[in-house]
Chains A and B, each alone.
Chain A
């Protein structure tokens, strides 16, 4: 664990990407195979199955520290992280240990097979042997959420530095459904045949946001446009008579969208499509909240399949007849995609996302204004001669979104954030005016600067009216402009509406509460945009 803790400390004590990458590359060069495989797994969101729950951990930690449970619970929100709270509250360790990261992971995996008392004994024994940083990491292994400022992109770069292999290749190797138990360092990182896994997706190419409009992009004739859909980005893989659907977050979503199983009836194996999963009926996409009902459902009831059937709106072709198409220019890929999909019958679960033809940038600007009517968020711009790159790269793909909708709302509840935002009030509930009262309608967590978060935190401390656990009701005094991407009817909310991607776009210090928007305003927006 010491080597892994040393890596963690090097990563944690710098904000510079180059130093983080170097630290990881050093680690990947010399760590034992099991340890480095687990490190790749942890930094890509995989972790050992949880063997003890958070309540048990808290009780054991408080007991070992010799304090009452309430004192532990009061300390937790101030520290902001459970693993860290336990680490800090325990007395210093009485012993040392040179056991490796994989050893401790195996200890955790062994807990499933032993009774609770034995689990407790083993956890306490581990705490007794691990120093602060090691103990923190050990606790993180249990509680999950290994977010320590290392993106997958950064790790991929470090692996590429350590192995001398191409970054894009490394990124492709790390994709898909592997677990440390089902592979080895050699098979995952070094073996020559990396495509053996049938389900392995290609890394997604991600677009940058175009803030200033397209004028700076050069000649309009070099660019192609299509709608930016408000659905779930997905990669559909058809290989050897099987199909797989991957999300952008590398989650396998095949079972959630059973409609796509039929794509094998219409398309040949050896095909990989990039597109958007959308709820779709009668030739047109449905609003996002129709799809929302499908998200998070592992099995789909018949009624829902009927109400919100989905399709894949395909806009790029990554593999054709088993051959990687990514190096081909976009125009070529798109022509092959058109050819592949042009004769599909309407019952096919895959459709071609249409290209938008435009004469110049102002023409495209006008088309963009109609995005909401098309159930789209804006337009995508793709350079005609560009290859399909891996990850978020500037230059060839841009998203040009509509300006968000906004509403002025009153801050009524505040809660402290976690992790980097511990000790700051960052999680807010907002209300609109409703007669003489206020009706809560949304939460928002982002959009303010650190300085603004500090100021509002100060203010919340001095203007708390009531506490409900970690939530504070505050004096209704501050108005914020809330920006959002869509508005839907929602019987679950008191206000009757739900917003999509709400965030604080401006602190309206100039506005008194009686000038904030009303519930009627919100309902008008629902009628206009819902």
Chain B
């Protein structure tokens, strides 16, 4: 009898027959292992959840009252016939790759990941495996990131120059992960740091779990923008042209995303500045990670999958594309991202 694969790809998501559980499923299932809290990976409605201790607070904050169990990085757990463990993915605080071992064969699901340490998330650790299920959001050789210090310095310079001219700087960044990464990289001596409600809500959750972030002021309905001149305002991308943002008259706008590497995308956003900062691996990062797993079989889930898989096949791997409902780094944060009250506040 042919052995069943460790993981299979079903209409509900990635499934482990030996352990009868799904990983980051997009349809409702009885048992879900979750790599991290972004909306395309952690969805509501599953029977039971398992996530890392560090990812749990955000997932609970976003999904409400769910049955969630936690696990430490590196800890192994037996689920049916499968042994599972979670390993740092470096994507956002608490994010994990999930290792599944059945009968001595090891498969790893990357979730989303980046290989550069960002100072906030647990740094990416390669896990040796037979098969690696990887994202490839930026799986093209034109995507190459500059080191985080350089991007952070550019953001601080932009902020300082605007502040010197009495202008606010509004920076669009995902409210979970990117926003906190930017906050941690800011130089608070330049001026006040303000936040949109969706960002502040995540900040609160992360501060409660002991993650150090600089002091921020939440821009609520009655906030007096004039009382805080020259601020840096961190907001989700969708808030950038909204009524909420208009209170900062004459502000310079920036956008932090890997997509800012492309001039056409940067100009279409009509932001004044684009900062190339991604929580996903770049071309070299993806290839480096794949090599480090020593896996022979590669499944690519989202991003430039066709191109990336073809490249891997030509380079000697056994690669194939699997269709999933993950979105990777989209330019606009999904509307469901963030608690309802904050979304209303940010809406035009």
Contacts and interface: CB of A to CB of B under 8 A. Distances in A.
Interface of A: 12-16, 65, 67-68, 70-71, 74-75, 78-81, 84-85, 88-89, 136, 149, 418-424, 450
B311 interface: yes
A88 B144 CA distance: 8
B218 interface: no
B72 interface: no
A81 B263 contact: yes
B147 to A, nearest CB: 12
A75 B270 CA distance: 23
A420 B267 contact: yes
Given A16-B272, A79-B142, 14 more contacts: A15-B270, A15-B272, A67-B141, A74-B307, A78-B304, A80-B264, A88-B142, A89-B141, A419-B264, A420-B268, A421-B268, A422-B262, A422-B264, A423-B264
Given A89-B142, A420-B268, A424-B268, A71 B263 contact: no
B341 interface: no
Interface of B: 140-144, 261-265, 267-268, 270, 272-273, 304, 307, 310-311, 314
B314 A68 contact: yes
A150 to B, nearest CB: 13
A75 B314 CA distance: 17
A88 B265 CA distance: 14
A71 B268 contact: no
B112 to A, nearest CB: 20
B142 A81 contact: no
Given A420-B268, A421-B268, A84 B141 contact: no
Nearest to B140: A75
Contacts of A84: 262-264
A423 B265 contact: yes
Contacts of A418: 264
A146 to B, nearest CB: 14
A422 B265 contact: yes
Contact of A71 (B267, B272, B311): B311
Contacts of B267: 12, 149, 419-420
Contacts of B263: 12, 81, 84, 136
Contacts of A67: 141
A436 B237 CA distance: 45
Contact of A65 (B141, B262, B311): B141
B269 to A, nearest CB: 10
Q: Nearest 7 CB-CB pairs, A to B?
A: A422-B264, A88-B142, A80-B264, A420-B267, A74-B307, A75-B140, A75-B142
A68 B311 CA distance: 9
A421 B304 CA distance: 19
B335 to A, nearest CB: 14
Nearest to B250: A16
A65 B283 CA distance: 13
A442 to B, nearest CB: 25
